[in-house]
């Protein structure tokens, strides 16, 4: 057990099924979000880099079988957001990223997500495209294609 910290485990934690969760992996990502701390205790990766098939931690701890089997149950709960439909979940860095990751926009709109208003790079409207929820990228304004239900992206937005 390379991760064992003296005095950290209680009697129940010495069983062979001790998981990575028992080591404190809390950290802030360079984007100032909640992250996952790699074994080097320096690298802090985005939660959505966990179990994505690519090694993002130098040791590959982000792809360990222990962590990634039976998703999302072996992941730290602080890295998970439960969608409005409890059958679905996303990584916490996919919440309030303007994209409809839950499929019902519960990660972008609503009380449990409690996202801030659209940022300066975004235009507020009701989109016609499934991938957006209540903000569309300003770079799509006046691009000759309707993104907003009320066409405000083509007639008002600059
Ligand atoms: Ca990864
Ligand atoms: Ca999202």
Residue 6 falls within a domain, yes or no? no
pLDDT above 60: residue 158: yes
98 CA → ligand 2 middle, Å: 5
Both 77 and 32 in one domain: the answer is yes
Q: What average pLDDT does the structure give for the chain?
A: 89
Residue 139: band (very low, low, confident or very high) from pLDDT cuts 50, 70, 90 = very high
| Residue 53: DSSP 8-state | S
Would you state the pLDDT for residue 22? Answer: 62
Both 76 and 28 in one domain: the answer is yes
User: What's the rounded mean pLDDT across residues 8-25?
Assistant: 52
Would you state the pLDDT for residue 110? Answer: 87
Residue 75 falls within a domain, yes or no? yes
pLDDT tens, residue by residue, 65-99: 999 999 999 999 999 999 999 899 999 999 999 99
Residue 37 falls within a domain, yes or no? yes
DSSP bridge pairs for 27: 35
Residue 130 falls within a domain, yes or no? yes
Query: Can you give the residue range of the structural domain that contains 50?
Result: 24-92
Would you state the pLDDT for residue 145? Answer: 97
127 CA → ligand 1 middle, Å: 31
Residue 144 falls within a domain, yes or no? yes
97 CA → ligand 2 middle, Å: 5
Query: What percentage of the chain carries pLDDT values higher than 70?
Result: 86
pTM above 0.85, yes or no: no
Residues with CB under 5 A from ligand 2 (ion): 94, 97, 99, 101, 107
Backbone φ, ψ for residue 98 (5° rounding): 75, -10
Count of domains observed in the chain: 2
CA distance 55 to 53: 7
Q: Which helix (H) or strand (E) holds 135?
A: strand 135-137
112 CA → ligand 1 middle, Å: 27
Residues with CB under 5 A from ligand 1 (ion): 49, 52, 54, 56, 62
């Amino acid at each position: 057990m390379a991760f064992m910290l003296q005095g950290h485990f209680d009697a129940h934690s010495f069983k062979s099924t001790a998981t990575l969760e028992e080591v404190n992996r809390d950290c802030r990502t360079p984007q100032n979000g909640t992250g996952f701390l790699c074994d080097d205790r320096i690298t802090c990766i985005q939660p959505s880099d966990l179990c994505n098939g690519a090694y993002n931690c130098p040791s590959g701890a982000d792809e360990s079988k222990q962590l990634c089997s039976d998703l999302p149950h072996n992941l730290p709960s602080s890295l998970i957001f439960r969608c409005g439909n409890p059958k679905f979940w996303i990584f916490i860095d996919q919440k309030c990223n303007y994209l409809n990751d839950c499929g019902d926009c519960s990660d972008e709109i609503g009380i449990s997500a409690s996202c801030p208003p659209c940022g300066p790079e975004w235009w507020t409207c009701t989109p016609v495209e499934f991938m957006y929820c209540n903000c569309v990228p300003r770079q799509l304004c006046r691009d000759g294609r309707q993104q907003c239900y009320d066409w405000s992206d083509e007639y008002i937005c600059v």
